[in-house]
Structure 1
Amino acid sequence: MSVRNRFGTAAAIALMTTIGAVLLSACGPENSGSGSTTAPTGAAPGSAAPGTAAPGAASGSGSPAPGGKEVNGTSAANHLTISTGTRTVAMNGTTVDFGTVVRDLAWSPDGKKAAFVNGDGDLVLANPDGTGKVTLAKNPGGETWSHPTWLHATTDPGVTDVPGALARFDAIVFASSKGGALKLEKVPTKTPGATPEVLTPHNSEGGSDTMPQPPQTGNTWANAGGHRGEIAYANTPANEVYIYDDYIRPATRDLGKGSQPALSPDGEQLVFVRSVNGHDHLFTRSTQFDRKAEKDLTPSATTDYTEPTWSPDGRTIAARTPDGVSTLPADGSAPPAQVSTVKGLPAYRP
């Protein structure tokens, strides 16, 4: 079974029904950012659509499933969140209604903002409780946007920052598909309504035998990590994973066969997906030039592990499976364990 192609689709996956009816008080996630509530279209300010909870309200249940597995699987302690393509996002042991469809949710480096693609295909920012929504970029139509990631960079210790030098890294990079053509686009986080620009990974030296120019088309599934604006991404036609870094000068490196890459918080490790014996496995490898050894974290896989993400401390990897979400140690010291029956995209909130 090959890695699922999530581009060009807008699958909305409903949360599984929990056993018994459990009443929850309306509360948002801990450490929510501030911001005014954005009412659904046609509703009065601060109100919810008929029959729905207001944005930020808890919905669903975190009660145990048969066998002791957590139906939700998220908590304030583990930082795990799951977006399901519906209005609700699983987090902090409950589900929070964002008041709009949430696809491919990603968190800012400080955990105070969420970026996602809404039901209209636009790129949206919001507070963790679903309030304060801002349309960062409006989809022009005819395109499918997916998998945003928060590009960022910081100065090295002891280095004085040149004013504005790092501003170009304060941006969202996302995948765009139009007429079957895949590309990466970039939009600044501080300029709502800006027109996205195409991000073209390349090498400053113009290509060489040791570092040739990477493919200019077919790029998708970007994921930012580290502190130097690094981006890992996949090239679909080549089935290759690349890492792009233009902190000092543009440089792109091919890291091998795979898809759906994710960089560790420190940028030193990469996890990605590769098909082995009919199932999608998780592999890790160093991002260093002289370290090419790979490790299969799921050598005995009997199911598909896709869409991996790192915990904030870099010790745990969460991945999507056909049955929900599983986690495993990043060093491969233990096999994956299912932590949630919620079927969606896992992401860790810093």
Structure 2
Amino acid sequence: MSSILPIDSPFEAPENGFQAIRFDGRVFHLLDQRELPARERWLQLDDLDSVIAAIRDLAVRGAPAIGITAAYGAVIRAREVGLERGPWLEGMARLEAARPTAVNLSWAVARMRRAAGEAERVDLARLEAEARAIHAEDIAANQAMARAGGSEIGACRGILTHCNTGSLATGGVGTALGVIIQAAKDGRVERVFADETRPWLQGSRLTAWELARAGVEARVLVEGAAAALMAAGEVQWVVVGADRIAANGDVANKIGTYALAVLARHHGVKMMVVAPSSTLDPAMENGQGIEIEQRAADEIWAAAGLTEAPAGFAAWNPVFDVTPGELIDCIVTEQGVHRPPYDFSGAR
């Protein structure tokens, strides 16, 4: 495994989590999540196309991390086109289209457009300052969410989480995983369970790796075992992240989250969603309007070790589903704990 890059950064502190996103002022360094946990491979991105590819091909994933990556991508694009506004704006349109569901991507690009100014040449200093501000704000938000969400969880036997929501998915300690790690450090939870999260296995590859790194006892289970786990009384909370939250509290998150919410309600298990306010979309009335990204069926066959689809087979591969707000006990942002009926009209 390669070691962490020796880049001097104000973000480096134990309470900020480890940094999977680094910018040295010219080259953007990104920990390739596709390679974990087998090895730590760092990508060095110095043009917009490589940043877009990293987002599209899941080298980086997690809504906050995608937003931070987009912000640094805007800085790289400005250098690439000699600060010319027209080509820079064209690049921002392509960057924003890299993945449609995570609202943090469009949110970050909108902030970078405002920072660029109105002149024919974009303001590089303002762009870089804005990108670093987005990164620093996410770190601070992570810390606030960990405290708020962690205090919401009383002493319990177990917590179940889905996908990956830690330092790999954010700029700091994480959203849902930050809350879980905080609860574990406070002695509020005995054990953490992580769904595999098929077909990319973010739970078994990334969440398990992060929890082991944090010294938190964890067990991985296949999605189909969640109902039996709840029925056995092994968990009292399901804690997950979000890629977009509508005004009424409907939540778009990794496929399988909706199923967990239904199971949790049936078994009397509480459901918590943790996400920064940048994930809120007050203009989206409810979850029915959220565009759900569909990915290639090849991902399903590859997860089964197949190089191509079996003859006569097709597949349906949505990346996200929408959980109705009525199935969620609380939504935690850096602004605090929100409870139903949800009203985010004044957020962001």
User: If the length of structure 2 is used for normalisation, what is the TM-score?
Assistant: 0.29
- Which structure dedicates a bigger proportion of its chain to helix? 2
User: If the length of structure 1 is used for normalisation, what is the TM-score?
Assistant: 0.28
